[in-house]
Amino acid sequence: MKPTVAGLPKATSGRRDAKDDQTSRAAREIIDKEVAERVSKTERLRAARLEMESNQEPLPAAKPKARKAAGPRRARSN
């Protein structure tokens, strides 16, 4: 940064800043593209799942399993 007449440094935009901005823009474009693809895939899969579920007959409710009667407890041995 170069000092100005008032003694405060002047902000300069150099090559490095331009390269950083270009890299940031490219990264944001890639990320935005991936997000759009993910959202599209999720919507497509959700629609397919809902269609499949609507075509299936509901399964009968499962009966709860009977529990075995607990045997006598034994004392722990050391």
Would you state the pLDDT for residue 48? 97
Answer whether residue 75 is part of any domain.
Answer: no
The pTM is what?
0.51
Q: Do the beta carbons of residue 34 and residue 26 sit within 8 Å?
A: no
Match 């890639």 to its residue by tokens.
Answer: 30
Answer whether residue 31 is part of any domain.
Answer: yes
Q: What percent of the chain has pLDDT over 70?
A: 82
Answer whether residue 65 is part of any domain.
Answer: no
The identity of residue 30, as a single letter, is I
Grade residue 6 by pLDDT with cuts at 50, 70 and 90. low
Total domain count, the chain = 1
Answer whether residue 64 is part of any domain.
Answer: no
Would you state the pLDDT for residue 13? 65
Answer whether residue 22 is part of any domain.
Answer: yes
Answer whether residue 73 is part of any domain.
Answer: no
Answer whether residue 69 is part of any domain.
Answer: no
User: Which of helix, strand or coil describes residue 8?
Assistant: coil
CA distances from residue 56 to 44, 52, 53 in whole angstroms, order as listed: 19, 6, 5
Q: Which domain holds residue 45?
A: 15-54
Answer whether residue 33 is part of any domain.
Answer: yes
